Amino acid sequence: MPAEILPRPAHMTVDSRAIILPQLLQLEVQGVRSALIRRAVERFRSQLTRMSGQEMTFSKVRNGSLPIEIRFVHDPRYLTLDMHEGYSLDVDDKGVRLTAQGEAGVLHGLSSLLQLVHRESGHALLAAVHVNDEPRLHWRGLMLDVSRHFFQVTTLERQIDAMAFVKLNVLHLHLSDGEAFRVESRRYPRLQLIGGHGEYYTQDQIRHLVAYAADRGIRIVPEFDTPGHVFSLLEAYPAYAAVPSLNRDDRATINRAALDPSNPQTYLFVTNLYREMAGLFPDRYFHIGGDEVRGAQWTTTPRIARYMAERHIASVEAMQAAYTSRIVNAVTRMGKTAIGWDEVLRADIPRNTVIQVWRGREHIADAAAGGHAVVLSSGFYLDHLMPSDAYYRLPLPDAPTVSPGHDDDTVAPPLSSTVPVIGAEAALWTEIVSDEMLDGRLWPRMGAIAERFWTPDAACDSATLYPRLTTLYERIELLGLQARANADAMLARLAPGQADAARILLEVTSPVRNYGHNHEFMQIRHKKPAIRQTLDSLADIAQPDSFRAEAFNAEAEAFSRGDKAVKPDLIRWLILWANDVEPFEREAAQYPGLRDGIGTVRDLSNMAKVGLAALDVEQDTNWRQRAKAVIADADADYAASVDTSIVTNSVQPPADLLQRILPGIKTLVEKSNRSAER
């Protein structure tokens, strides 16, 4: 059986003989007594029940049970950047042995073990393996914007479960932004009561989430973004505004409001708020934001302009630098290490401030020059809606050698002089991601990225990425992720009981990329009145990865290399797509919410017909002519959202959807051309 663990372990050998998984587990934990490990083992039991399809129970009796021996030592650095995460795992006919230098390694080993299970002819089987594993990067994160959209606690729990499954260890919550402030503050309750717009986490809920994540080896790093992106804070406390007029109806201003850096009270407010929040989140790292400060907010306000002139602060950048430096020092006095978006580099800030690079990799060097550690996010923006393989291809600097023994954990780890990258974080901004879309906008793509963060380059494998991700996706859905169920619910709302043809279309289309589907952005960029878009269109249901299209494209590729056995399968799919127009139009006649997709399904059908012609199934002497036109159209559709600046002045394809079988169709057409020349 194929034994696949994702992220791929640094070292793994697989024995061809799998062992039968009995229902009884004879567990022996050697090491310290640990409530955390006890809970982890109990979770493992119930997850193994889910994975194996049989009720698993612990037993004291050796007979008929699978011995699982876990050996570990307590890691005093558990849940810090320097925790020990390595483990070794052996599965053979004598049982399972898991060894780790700390709690995190035990958790990772159990998650690997879960992935070795599958069912076969009446049995649950466990692949026999030897694994020796440790992470490539120390900080393997996901940034989630819970301001632009609010996510229920249970929704976040599901993401934390899936994160643990792929060995991620940091959940960075972007808790405040123009749209809303999302945490209960006792000191400044108007923040949640006014700025929360009805949806925020209570302090109890935050403590619950922190503990939930901690149990799974995941640190929560909170972000409270200042001095820009503060519209919602200012709705609650307008006295600290740089520009007093706050008009939520003008959507463009929601991202622009900034604090008044000339008001001494502003610093008191931010410091008090940060102190309260620093107490709520135990992690050493505290994110202060610092991105995208609008200069005009300061320069066009006479009071602030005067303040800057009197102090010889020559530019907006210098003003932000002065602000940042005061705030970072305050955060440091709270016993925290500050982290900020790369704009904070403009300030003379303590060297232990971590820089989160997002605008471009060139900022890594800037940070290095200042002696700062870096968390790399540039390129790993999930809201760009690129498919998994695009993220998987991004080069990743190797981790610095962190000296294992350093004990002053008030500073970021010592850095090698050249590569200060301590880790990386994917980011999901959620302007157009609702609660029920979250699972599908994060997964399975986050799994592909998790592998890049964990696995050394030599063990990464892009050729098998999609089949492996397909497996991962099924497994995390088994464990409770709701990507598929939620997408189905959204479609059911659009066309209850009448969505078969729409489902066929959605399986092989993806939303346009790089904010091309963010209509509000486009309105703002063109200085038109902007309205918040409803998230109920086909493009909101479609996924950035299409497993069906990837499988088709791979078969077309195999066919072009001479594998004739795949031809019937290619034809079967092409016929399904070619014939999807008429049933789709019937569904759309009943349910206008689908009408958007009529152009898309016609394009799909034309593309499929070209494929059938290339395979000689359709007789059409003019097919090459048609193929050219169809391919050129689909290429143009992709070109319209190829990057974030192109989208501004490009017309997006019908329903904001891209045709994902395009590469396969191109392959078939090219192959067919070649045979004609002979």
Distance CA 137, CA 149 (A): 29
Question: Which amino acid belongs to residue 208?
Answer: H
| Contact between 630 and 610 (Cβ < 8 Å) | yes
Sign of CA dihedral 591, 594, 598, 603: negative
* Active-site residue, selected from the candidate residues 69, 276, 292, 317: 292
**What minimum distance in Å lies between the beta carbon of 292 and ligand TNX?**
5
Closer of 87 and 341 to ligand TNX (Cβ): 341
Any bridge partners for residue 424, and if so which? 140, 376
Closer of 199 and 585 to ligand TNX (Cβ): 199
**What minimum distance in Å lies between the beta carbon of 341 and ligand TNX?**
4
**What minimum distance in Å lies between the beta carbon of 447 and ligand TNX?**
22
For residues 222 to 251, the per-residue mask of contacts with ligand TNX, x marking binding by CB under 6 A and - elsewhere, is -------x----------------------
Verify whether residue 292 is a known catalytic residue. yes
Closer of 115 and 378 to ligand TNX (Cβ): 378
- List Cα–Cα distances, 79 to 138, 408, 410, in angstroms: 11, 16, 15
- Tokens (6 digits) for 165: 């499954």
Distance CA 639, CA 513 (A): 10
Closer of 331 and 472 to ligand TNX (Cβ): 331
| Contact between 332 and 288 (Cβ < 8 Å) | no
Closer of 199 and 292 to ligand TNX (Cβ): 292
Closer of 103 and 177 to ligand TNX (Cβ): 177
**What minimum distance in Å lies between the beta carbon of 228 and ligand TNX?**
9
Q: Which of 44, 78, 298, 429 binds ligand TNX (CB under 6 A)?
A: 429
Any bridge partners for residue 337, and if so which? 285
Q: Count the site residues for ligand TNX by CB under 6 A.
A: 7
* 165: number of Cβ within 10 Å: 24
Burial status of residue 458 (CB atoms within 10 A of its CB: 0-12, 13-18, 19 or more) = exposed
**What minimum distance in Å lies between the beta carbon of 132 and ligand TNX?**
37
**What minimum distance in Å lies between the beta carbon of 179 and ligand TNX?**
9
| Contact between 316 and 343 (Cβ < 8 Å) | no
DSSP result, 614-635: HTTSS--TTHHHHHHHHHHHHH
**What minimum distance in Å lies between the beta carbon of 429 and ligand TNX?**
3
**What minimum distance in Å lies between the beta carbon of 288 and ligand TNX?**
12
Q: Does 361 bind ligand TNX (CB under 6 A)?
A: no
- List Cα–Cα distances, 675 to 145, 429, 561, 667, in angstroms: 52, 47, 12, 13
Q: Where are the alpha helices (DSSP H) in 148-202?
A: 153-165, 190-193
Distance CA 206, CA 200 (A): 10
**What minimum distance in Å lies between the beta carbon of 232 and ligand TNX?**
13
Closer of 72 and 358 to ligand TNX (Cβ): 358
Q: What are the counts of helices (DSSP H) followed by strands (DSSP E) for the chain?
A: 25, 18
Closer of 167 and 294 to ligand TNX (Cβ): 294
Among the listed residues 595, 584, 598, 594, the one whose alpha carbon sits nearest the alpha carbon of residue 491: 594
Closer of 95 and 544 to ligand TNX (Cβ): 544
**What minimum distance in Å lies between the beta carbon of 522 and ligand TNX?**
12
SS3 label, residue 68: strand
Q: Dihedrals φ, ψ of 318, to 5°?
A: -65, -35
| Contact between 188 and 273 (Cβ < 8 Å) | yes
Q: Does 341 bind ligand TNX (CB under 6 A)?
A: yes
Distance CA 515, CA 108 (A): 35
Closer of 260 and 425 to ligand TNX (Cβ): 425
Q: Does 358 bind ligand TNX (CB under 6 A)?
A: yes
Any bridge partners for residue 97, and if so which? 69, 90
SS3 content of the chain, % helix, strand, coil (to 5): 45, 15, 35
CA dihedral 665, 668, 669, 675 (to 10 degrees): 180
For residues 273 to 292, the per-residue mask of contacts with ligand TNX, x marking binding by CB under 6 A and - elsewhere, is ------------------xx
- List Cα–Cα distances, 76 to 100, 121, 655, in angstroms: 13, 45, 53
- The footprint of ligand TNX (CB under 6 A) covers 229, 291-292, 341, 358, 429, 431
Active site residues: 292
